[in-house]
Structures are given as structure tokens and as C-alpha cells.
Amino acid sequence: MPKVRLPVLPPLFCAVMLAACGGSDAVSEAGSRPNSFPEGTNALEDFDTGSTGDSNNASGLASNELRVTVEVPRSVAPDGELTRRNLRIVEPDRLEVYQTDSSLRQLASVDITIRKEDSGRHIISFNDGLPVGPNIVIEASVGNTILRSLAADEDRDVKINPFSEYLVNNGLGSYTSSEFDQVMECVDSESESLCLNKYVWATVNDQVHDFEISIPDNYSVPMAVSMLANRPDFANYVARMTDYALIDSSSAGAITASAIDFNSVLLGIELGQSFREPSLNNPGQWGVRIAQEEVLQDVNGVAYVYPGLTLTNFDVFNVRVTSLASDVPYIRETLMQTNGNGFYKRGSDTWALNGHTTAPGAATLQDDLRLVTGRALYQSITGRDSSEVIGWTRNPFYLDAYVGGGDTPTEVLAGYFSAGKAIELIETGGELKRQDTLEDHYLSVFEVNLARSQDFALSTLDGKTYNVISFSMLLTGNNAAIPMSIASDVGSWSLADAGSPETALAVTESLTFQGLERVGSDGTIATTTGARLASGRALSLRPSQLSTGAQNTGRLDLSVGNGNTGTIIGASSPDGTLLAFNLNDVLDGNGPDDLGDGLIVAAEQSTSPAPDTGSYRLQGFAFGLETDSNRLMHFQDATLTLDSPISATLQLNGLEIQHTVSSQSVGKPASMADQLSLAYTDNGSGRIALTNGNLELTGFVTADQQTMFLRLVDNSAAEKVLGLVMATRLP
């Protein structure tokens, strides 16, 4: 097909007829046309650890060009080339490129050139430079089916499919005219008054294609878009990203340091469905993930990967930009539950060390309190040299993190949600190709990042008293009387010189716990309470092995106590006011204090009264257990408002996943929302409680009054609820 240069004529729109088809016959013709796309461009064909779920096919493009691929549901093109998410790649009958606004009308033409590659894809050259904002749309016609995409795209590999159509219709189309004008003022800003949020659009248009949500065979495009609207994890991501674009320049900032490295402590709680063992008939599955150091060794030597986050500051047209990237190796345990109350644990003998790694990207420091951005997680592969090679996919999420320390952060705290899949891979011709889905899982992450120090010393912690909270999950399975138990402790620690303050500090603890147990014989739920007084615990430095040698960066070892086994590894903030640890297989040799895997957070006690005003973002998770169901609740976009010294209001928002045991069914994420009036009590030394009837939130506020860590308990109904949340200061 010859190149076509489209004139810039305001009453006209850029349109290129690629094939003349009409009526219902065009639909079947589009699906029956053969495709010969080059190798490596279909994400179904080559699973790669160095990328997110969406393939990147930008090779060979000039700086003002992008590549377009059209993907439709099977009902539109039954014979199209199968790709991810059960979509089919087809050649469009027509492509149009035009300028629009929030009304989604065609407003003006765009100066472009379109050419068709031998592969069947199309290259669009933007003669005035690549679009940045949401005002340029590419529209594809396949028979009577119309789909649209924004032209701004981070990797210039534009997919036009139901996901991009949702973003155009429900994202761009959600703006009022004044909001759209505000967005375009940002997009049109020049270097001397650069508005960095203009780059949101390229990010979100790329990341919507990283979501692993399969479109049913019989769905039309409108049905697929409606289905996505009813996936609150996807819809909320799009809504928050479009809100992100409206953050004004006066509220947007960046860190001042050139780079800040953080030690990360991460707890991931998951509920999903396993298809990996057919004899169990697709049972529901709980899972727990904790951060873990990784040792890499080859002929060149040994290297260590420590769970961490890095914030980097760089200049764009003399404006500071914050970029973030994280790499958290993790270990995992799971427990499957069948409808006959069979419980099957799978641990390190099944699940290899894996990676929770975010792709580098820009973020906005909002009002020196919140770090906000859209985050994509890299795919990973385990068992590469074994008989079972598994590919792991992870959906993007909107990061709304609290940043302590202002523009030179000392802590970054966040809770977020990411659905994912485990996929069987088979190697063919040097490529790993997707086969069957082995599991669907829905993950709630509780993440504490504490800035690394140059030469951290235990003297920073000596003599301090801390408020402490923990959450742990013990999976036993395999005919155990109690195959699953969870517990949350609240109390205090005192640290003192044990005779060698440079090498160890004695830890005296006083904790009370609330717990839930699932009984193996009949699946019923039992509640547990009590005191926990581990003896013989000590805190010591855990040096990091860096290229320059061993260095004390703030990483810590907490001994498990007399008679216990396992490890407790964590970190301190530079000033010692906040500590966090991961529990790994912590077991009591005498039995009653088995903890398993989990997380501990400790904050230095305060002598000041608890805050009586302010709004806080509430994030975290809760388990809901009853005989015939498991429920995972993830809290996001929830707000805790302190109304007075004795009252507060909780606007509860989030997602929930429901597993029905008897039918062995696991639902998709669903929205949850409620508003509660709470009684608020200051118990002194930073300890606080918020209650509404049988709902209890018990924990503490940090000395700077910016963060609360709270245990959530409600045992009043048949479903017993236990969880862990953080509430972090809002602007």
C-alpha cells in the first residue's frame, strides 16, 4: 500500500481506508485473513522476564513513529491470530487519527503518514512529533466494530483493543470540559513552566495492556468494555491515573537528594484458585509472601540482592523529577482447601525464590507527603532448569504511598493490590511459550521501606521503648489438626544494653494477640486470644555485603527467642524511630507460640497526646473466615478522619475476593464500601483504639503523628475478621 500524507484541514479528519469492507461479511473476512507477524511481537509466543505483560514491538521505528496492532474478541474475528487475554490480532479495515476532547468527538485532523508493514501491522508517522496528551486518538474499524486508543504511548507499541477502548471512553471521557482544559494546559506547558503530569498519558496507555484479564470468546467489544468496568481493580487504576493527571504543579514536587536507597520489608497476602493439580478439582488457595535476601553465584563470584527501593532525582528541562524502582526477592507458601476440607500445603519445595520487581518510572511527590504514580511489575520465571517452568504475571497498580521526611525521605509506606497468574511455559525454538494457566491469585501487599544508613549503629536504638504490632500466618495443612492459623500481636518492646551494646541489645516484650484458626476436621473457625512473652530475644546488626565490602545499612537480625526456630530479619529507619521485620517460619519448640510467616512493625513510643484532628489514608488487608468461605479484603482509597479527641469517621473503600469452599469457586475482585462512626481513645504513650460496636482497631500512632498501625478485629458474626492496616497522613 502506498504511503499517504494526510493534509492538515480542520474540517477533515485523518483517515486511511485500508480495505473496503462493509456489513456483517466484513467481520468474518477480518477474522479469516491470514497474519504473518514477525517473531517475538506476539506476547503469547515468548514469555520474557525483562518486561511487563505487554510485548514491546518498537524496533525499527523512527523517533516520530509508533506501531499499531489491533486486537479484538474472538466473536469479532474467530480465525484471527490468538494473543494474550484471549484476544485475536487482525488487520483493521480502516485507521483514523484525529484530535478530540472529553466529548470524544472528532475535532480536527492530525498531520500523519501511515504505511503498512509486510507483517500486516501499521506504522504511523506524526509529522509534528509524537503526541503526549490524551487529545489525539487512533480509531480502528474491523467490519462494524469500532475501537479506539490514545496515541500517546510509553513504548510506542500501541495496542487497539477493549482495554484501550475503556481508557478512551471511561478515562478520557470521564472528564468535564474544564478538567480536560486543565489537563491540556499541563500537556502544552513549555520547558520553563514544565508540568510533569503531562507524561501520565503515555504511561497509562501502555500499562492498561499489562493487565491479565481474559475476554470471553462470545463477548462483543461493548460487552468486553462493560466487563472491564466491573473489574474494580482495573477500573480503579484507570480512575486514579486520570485523577493523577489533574494534580496541579503547585502540589507536585520531587525529592531533593540525588538518590535514596531503602531497605524493604514486605508482606503479601493472597487468595486465589489453583489449577495446577487436577486431582484436587481447582481448589481455593491462600498464600503468603515475605521479602527475602537473594544470593547470586557464578564463575565470577557471589553477589547479594537485598529487598529494596530506590528513589532517584534527575532533571528534565531544569525541573526535578523523581524516579523509583524496586526489587524485592520473596519466598512463598500456599495452602489449598478442597470442598471436602482437604488441606494441602505447598512451600519452598514447590515454590522457588521469586521476584517482586517494579519497572523504573517517574513519580510525583505530592505536597511532600504522598508519592503517587502508576506502577508496572515485571514478569518472572521460576524453574527454568526443571521439568516445571512457570511464568508469573502481575497486574499494574496505582501507588499512593506515604513519604516520611519530606523531600529527603526516610520512609516510604504503602499498601496496594495486584492480581496475577501462574502460567505453564514450554520451550520451543529457544522461546518460552504460554500454555495452561496454573493459578489465578489476588495479592494484597503491605510494604515498609526504610532509608538505608551509611554506618548504622545499635546505639541508635539503645534504651528506646517501642509500640509493636505484628501479623503472622501459619500454614500447616497435610492432615494437621489446625491446618491454618493467623494471629496479630499488639504491645511493646524495651531495648536495653545486654552487656555488648555494639553487638546486641536485649529485647523485653509484652504482647497480647488475637487469632483465628481453621479446624482441619470440619473447617470451622475458632478464635484465640492470649499473651505472648518470648524470652531470650536480642537485636543485632545484619551487615550488607556490598561491592565495597560489608556495611551496616540499617538491616537488623532479631533472634527468635529461647526454644524457637526460624529467622526474623528487618531494618531500622536512620534515626531508629521506626523498625520493621519479616518473620520466616518462626516456630515455638514447645508448640503454643508458632507464628509462621509475617511482619512486625515497631515505632518509638511518644509522650505527646495522640492527634485529635487530621485525615489519613487507610491501607492494608483483612481475612474473613467462616466454615464455607474465605474472604480477602484489601483496603484502598479509604479515609480515616479524626473528628475530635474522642470520635472519628472511617470512609471504607476497597476490594474483596470471595472463595466459596463447597462449590470450589473463587470470584473476581469486587468493590466494598461503607462509612462508620468510630469512638476514638488515647491510651497514652502513642497507643490508640478506635471502635464501632464489635469492630476494634487497636494499635498506635508514631511519635510524629503521621502514621498509625492498627490491628482490625471483628468476631461478632459467623464470619470472623482479622487484619492489619496502616493509616498515613493525607495533605
352-406 per-position pLDDT tens digit: 999 999 999 889 999 999 999 999 999 999 999 899 999 999 999 999 999 998 7
Q: Specify the pLDDT at position 724.
A: 98
3-state helix, strand, coil in the chain (%, to 5): 10, 50, 35
Phi-psi region of 693 (alpha: psi -120 to 50; beta: other; left: phi over 0): left
Q: C-alpha distances in angstroms, 458 versus 31, 442, 473, 556, 679?
A: 67, 38, 29, 9, 39
Cell numbers found for residue 51: 518486561
Q: Where are the beta strands (DSSP E) in 22-169?
A: 65-73, 81-83, 87-90, 94-99, 108-109, 112-116, 122-126, 136-142, 145-150, 157-160
Distance CA 95, CA 60 (A): 21
Q: Tell me what percent of the residues of the chain surpass a pLDDT of 90.
A: 78
The one-letter amino acid code at 370 reads R
Please enumerate in sequence order all residues whose Cβ is within 8 A of that of 243, keeping only pairs 6 or more positions apart, or say none.
none
With H, G, I as helix, E, B as strand and everything else as coil, classify residue 34: coil
Cell numbers found for residue 682: 488515647
Closest C-alpha to 399, from 410, 412, 386, 384: 412
Cell numbers found for residue 315: 532533571
Domains of the chain, CATH where assigned: 4-244 (no CATH), 611-731 (2.40.128)
Contact 396, 207 (CB under 8 A): yes
How does residue 606 score in pLDDT terms, banded at 50, 70 and 90?
A: very high
With H, G, I as helix, E, B as strand and everything else as coil, classify residue 278: helix
Q: Specify the pLDDT at position 494.
A: 96
Cell 494471629 -> residue: 487
Question: Which helix (H) or strand (E) is 276 found in, with range?
Answer: none
Distance CA 166, CA 227 (A): 10
Cell 468476631 -> residue: 715
Contact 657, 442 (CB under 8 A): yes
Whether the pLDDT of residue 35 is over 90: the answer is: no
Cell numbers found for residue 563: 526454644
Bridge partners of 4, per DSSP, are 114
Cell 463447597 -> residue: 662
Whether the pLDDT of residue 153 is over 60: the answer is: yes
Cell numbers found for residue 342: 482437604
Q: Specify the pLDDT at position 731.
A: 93
Weakest-pLDDT range from 189-198, 368-377, 478-487, 609-618: 189-198
Question: Which helix (H) or strand (E) is 205 found in, with range?
Answer: helix 200-207
| 3-class SS letters over 500-526 | CCCCCEEEEEEEEEEEEEECCCCCCEE
Please enumerate in sequence order all residues whose Cβ is within 8 A of that of 86, keeping only pairs 6 or more positions apart, or say none.
73, 74, 214, 215, 216, 217
Q: Specify the pLDDT at position 192.
A: 58
Distance CA 353, CA 9 (A): 58
How does residue 40 score in pLDDT terms, banded at 50, 70 and 90?
A: very low
Q: Specify the pLDDT at position 119.
A: 78
- How far is CA 604 from its chain centroid? 29
CB atoms within 10 A of CB 666: 23
Distance CA 650, CA 557 (A): 36
Q: What is the pLDDT of residues 418-467, one digit of tens each?
A: 999 999 999 988 889 999 999 999 999 999 999 999 999 999 999 999 99
Q: Specify the pLDDT at position 33.
A: 33
Please enumerate in sequence order all residues whose Cβ is within 8 A of that of 607, keeping only pairs 6 or more positions apart, or say none.
685
Question: Which helix (H) or strand (E) is 718 found in, with range?
Answer: none
Closest C-alpha to 79, from 116, 39, 27: 27
Distance CA 602, CA 491 (A): 9
Contact 561, 537 (CB under 8 A): yes
**Reported pTM:** 0.92
Phi, psi (5° rounding) for residue 122? -125, 140
